[in-house]
């Protein structure tokens, strides 16, 4: 559905437009983008919790409001000029993943180990390993798009436990967390 919107000019006109922002307003929107993004993720997780507790309608409500927060995140990002052409977006995505793989998660990993926080180490390891997958996948996609081509229509499989991401079939067992193939989500 969101796909339709991107191509619907009448709707696109209603979206807030990118503009030259003063530094303080930019700072506000960046913080609001962080807040909306985290709210969207929390509500998805809390939807699963509600469903597990036997509140399917509360679950549905959390999903709906998560979508609303996701629309706010997109609007803030758009005003900040953070949505560009696909070639540029792929470069920004690659750079974000590279920072996480080369800087952020290795540093966080050391500190979590130092402090003996084993569950944090696990959560960091799962993320670190899959960000490395993404780095490679975004590199390949950018090369294709720079040549004016789409990537192949192979399935993309994602481990629901740790986020391991693979272009092609799901493995029998996740190499990062050991989840079996049926726990992969196919895109």
Partner 1 sequence: MAEPFKNTPPAPEHQGEMTAANIAAALAGESQASQKYLAFADVADGEGYPNVARLFRAVAYAESTHARNHLSVLGAIGTTEENLKAALGGETFEIDEMYAAYMAVAKLQENKSAQTTIRYADAAEKDHQAIYDAVGKGVDNKQDCGTDAVHVCPICGHTVIGDAPDECPVCGTAGVYFKEF
Min dist. Cβ of residue 185 to partner 1 (A): 6
Q: How many residues does the chain have?
A: 187
Judged by CB under 8 A, the chain residues 26 through 85 that form the site for partner 1 are 28-29, 31-46, 49-50, 53-58, 60-65, 67-79, 82-85
Q: Does 15 bind partner 1 (CB under 8 A)?
A: yes
139: Cβ contacts below 8 Å, ≥ 6 apart: 94
Q: Does 123 bind partner 1 (CB under 8 A)?
A: yes
Strands (E), 93-173: 156-159, 165-167
Is residue 94 near partner 1 by the rule CB under 8 A? no
Q: Is 172 in the site for partner 1 (CB under 8 A)?
A: no
How far CA 95 is from CA of 48, 103, 116, 128, 171, in Å, comes to 31, 11, 30, 14, 27
CA dist., res. 72 & res. 151, Å (int):
29
Binding of residue 136 to partner 1 (CB under 8 A): no
Q: How far is the CB of 146 from partner 1 (least distance, A)?
A: 12
Binding status of residue 16 toward partner 1 by CB under 8 A: yes
146 binds partner 1 per the rule CB under 8 A = no
Q: Tokens 């799901």 label which residue?
A: 170
């Amino acid at each position: 559905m969101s796909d339709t919107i991107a191509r619907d000019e009448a709707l696109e006109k209603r979206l807030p437009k990118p503009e030259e922002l003063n530094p303080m307003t930019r700072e506000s929107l960046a913080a609001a983008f962080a807040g909306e993004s985290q709210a969207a993720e929390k509500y998805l997780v809390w939807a699963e919790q509600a469903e597990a507790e036997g509140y399917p309608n509360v679950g549905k409500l959390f999903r709906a409001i998560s979508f609303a927060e996701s629309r706010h995140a997109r609007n803030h990002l758009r005003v900040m000029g953070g949505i560009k052409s696909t070639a540029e977006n792929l470069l920004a995505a690659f750079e974000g993943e590279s920072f996480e793989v080369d800087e952020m998660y290795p540093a966080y990993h050391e500190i979590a180990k130092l402090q003996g926080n084993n569950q944090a180490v696990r959560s960091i390891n799962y993320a670190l390993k899959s960000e490395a997958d993404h780095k490679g996948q975004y590199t390949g996609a950018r090369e294709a798009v720079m040549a004016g081509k789409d990537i192949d229509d192979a399935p993309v499989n994602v481990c629901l436990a740790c986020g391991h991401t693979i272009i092609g079939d799901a493995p029998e067992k996740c190499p990062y967390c050991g989840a079996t193939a049926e726990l992969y989500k196919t895109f």
